[in-house]
Amino acid sequence: MLLSYNDLRRFAIEAADGRKGHAEDFYLDDESWRVRYLVTETGFLFTRQQGLVKSTLLGTPDVERRTVPIALNKKQLDEAQSPDKHPPVSVQQEHAVRHRQFELWPALMLGVPGAAYTPARAEHQLFGGPEAERNLGDAPQNPEDPHLRSMAEMMGYAVRARDGQIGSIVDFLLDPDGWKIRYIAADTGTWLPGRQVVIRTDWISAVSWADQSIAVDDTKETVEQSPELTQIEDLERSDAHLAFTPYGAYGAHPM
């Protein structure tokens, strides 16, 4: 059985003593391509909080009831570690970039000799100019966990074959037996209009936060022959996705 990330990310959390909150995100390991954590969200407005649940504590999702069972009770879920304790690469790098940019602040305040300093000019230098873009590309040098990725962050990443761009990520297909990510689904855009192909994760050779992309170790021609999302017989979807157009509220795709 395969399940869609777009479907799962709004499933209710079924704790040992009742429902509480919903699935908000999944953190994966980009070496093993397995889910490491489910990110849950509970509460409303000012009481809203997120927690991490290890994949070893997850049961098999119930597609009809739209629930993900966990081996924790509600109190334990409330006490779950915050995602801040195990940030994915995207958050690690954003923090590192901010830190480096503020280290540069005194030098930037000096500006170019003879040019007037203004806060707007400094903000552009820090966050909007070419130097900021270069800083984004090479930080940090030593991320805490270089293989922990957020599925929510990776949605929309460019998919690049050896000989050119294929499209962009629109879904992940997971096997709840071991929580292995078997495929990514990519919308091929203008290259193959109207198609969403599935690509095996063992074809993926690299993931780049700086470039917002993944690299596929094969050619565009090979990918063109990959099955379409609608051809995956093992994919089970809840009825909720039928109510939405492509890229709708749940990011659902036509089936």
Condensed to tens digits (0 to 9), the pLDDT of residues 149-202 reads 999 999 999 999 999 999 999 999 999 999 999 999 999 987 778 789 999 999
- Give the Cβ contact number of residue 18 at 10 Å: 9
196: left (phi over 0), alpha (psi -120 to 50) or beta: beta
- Helices 130-138 and 89-103, interaxial angle, to 10°? 130
CATH, domain range 154-238 = 2.30.30.240
- Where are the chain's structural domains? 2-85, 89-138, 154-238
Q: Does domain 2-85 have CATH number 2.30.30.240?
A: yes
Which residue, 181, 149, 182, 152, is CA-closest to 41?
A: 152
What confidence score (pLDDT) does residue 126 get? 46
pLDDT > 70: percent of the chain: 72
Q: If DSSP codes are grouped into helix, strand and coil, which group holds residue 42?
A: strand
Instruction: State yes or no: pLDDT of 136 exceeds 50.
Output: no
29 falls in which pLDDT band (50, 70, 90)? Answer: very high
State the pTM of this model. Answer: 0.76
Do the domains spanning 2-85 and 154-238 agree at the CATH topology level? yes
Which of 135, 146, 173 has its CA nearest to residue 2?
Answer: 173
CA dist., res. 135 & res. 213, Å (int):
17
Helix (H, G, I), strand (E, B) or coil at 244: coil
